[in-house]
Chains A and B, each alone.
Chain A
Amino acid sequence: MRRNQIIMGTGVSLDIPEAKNEVIFSDVFELLRQIDARFSPYKKDSELSGYQRGEIIQKNLSLQMKAVMAACKKFEKLTNGYFSANFAGKYDPTGYVKGWAIAEAGKLIEKQGYKTYCIGIGGDILARSGGSKEWQIGIQDPKDKTKILNKLSISNGAVATSGNYERGLHIINPKTSKPANELLSLTVIGPDIIKADVLATAAFAMGKAGVKFVDRQKGYKALAVAREII
């Protein structure tokens, strides 16, 4: 079965071939809505918004928020600051939350006994296979969103793509404070969706050098589409 919903301001698609009813789908969508309620930078009543306004102080944050903050710090270090939850004086871990939400959804699905599933949130994908199923993942052509640039067959793995072609120039190179524009898109393939997602964001901000950066991470590969050929 496959179902989708709009959550976290983007599309969530979930395919569980062995599912027989709606229960697991509504459970996953509910979990994602709860994550969004806490971490959305757009919802005024979210914990994140409260923290950004200074109404919630550090020590009163939820354990979940503290865990996310610690993880962001770790990834900031790993990416030499190219991934950062701090920008222009504001704290925003959104770049981490999407991948983490996918991982949390995966845990829930597996806890319910499903070994084969594929979940995509806003173009980031986690694929799992307990048998022979190979998920066919298309990588969108940043120059023509109706087209597929590549197709990957993945049994167990994560695919995350970063680009500035959908939501405007929202990925900023923190070293220059300017929008990243060397690449049109950068896709990371690897075992863990959280790390793949963070690496895609950081490497996209790095530009062409980002491909090699990803390649240095054991188990992760990158595919970039440059703005200009050579």
Chain B
Amino acid sequence: MGSNGMKKTLLIIMSVAILGALGMYINKTPASSAKLVSSPTSSNNSTSQPAGTGTSSSASQAAAATSYKDGTFNGSTDTAYGPVDIAVVINGGKITDVRFMQMPSSHDYSRQVTAYAEPLLKQTTLQNQSSNIDFVSGATSTSNGFEQSLQMALDQAKMS
């Protein structure tokens, strides 16, 4: 349990927070985020563009509607551990993929952290649209707690 462990945890927590913030921006006020820009991809499935390409006006258009405009949107943010560039793919008005263009790599431990954190961070962003969930993992509830739980709600929805 050296400082690496701590840093790693902090980075993950921090990155999740950043992604959460990014998710908020996409949801609510993307136009106000200068760093969130649309890349000029016409297709939905799209090879991702490097962050920072494209125009911010497209992002403003995407922001206007409640559902998202299709395309690939790039976000970039600086962390204490280096820049994190993210491409968000929107298809059919929903976030269908989150790609990590660049993760911090300037520290010894960071490549390890990147490989470790990426899938988790990706899921963190994707979950924001409350897509289909089969089961819920959480701390053990009491039987009363279970009656009130998300898992119980899912079970009821899926029972046939």
Contacts and interface: CB of A to CB of B under 8 A. Distances in A.
A2 interface: yes
Contacts of B108: none
Interface in B95-141: 116, 120, 123-124, 126-127, 130-141
Contacts, number: 168
Contacts of A135: 134-135
B134 A136 contact: yes
Contact of A13 (B4, B10, B116, B151): B151
Nearest to A186: B139
A125 B10 contact: no
B155 A13 contact: yes
A224 B9 CA distance: 8
Interface stretch (B26-34, B40-48, B142-150): B142-150
Interface in A135-162: 135-140, 142, 145-146, 148-152, 159-162
A70 B120 CA distance: 34
A6 B160 contact: no
Contacts of B145: 10, 166-167
Interface stretch (A44-52, A57-65, A211-219): A211-219
B137 A140 contact: yes
A123 B139 contact: yes
B139 to A, nearest CB: 3
B151 A150 contact: no
B107 to A, nearest CB: 15
Contacts of B132: 136
Contacts of B123: 150-152
Contacts of A146: 150
Interface residues of B, number: 43
A178 B160 CA distance: 45
B151 A148 contact: no
B8 A11 contact: no
Contact of A230 (B13, B134, B135): B13
A162 B139 CA distance: 5
A56 to B, nearest CB: 26
A67 interface: no
B17 interface: yes
A120 B141 CA distance: 12
A70 B134 CA distance: 34
Contacts of A185: 138-139
Contacts of A229: 13-14, 17
Interface string A4-32: 10100111010100000000000000000
A98 interface: yes
Contact of B9 (A122, A145, A152, A208): A208
Given A123-B151, A149-B127, A208-B6, 12 more contacts: A4-B151, A10-B141, A13-B154, A15-B135, A122-B141, A123-B140, A145-B138, A165-B139, A167-B141, A209-B1, A223-B120, A229-B14
7 contacts: A10-B142, A13-B135, A120-B136, A145-B149, A166-B141, A229-B14, A230-B13
Interface of A: 1-4, 6, 9-11, 13, 15, 98, 118, 120, 122-125, 127, 135-140, 142, 145-146, 148-152, 159-167, 185, 187, 206, 208-209, 211-213, 215, 221, 223-226, 229-230
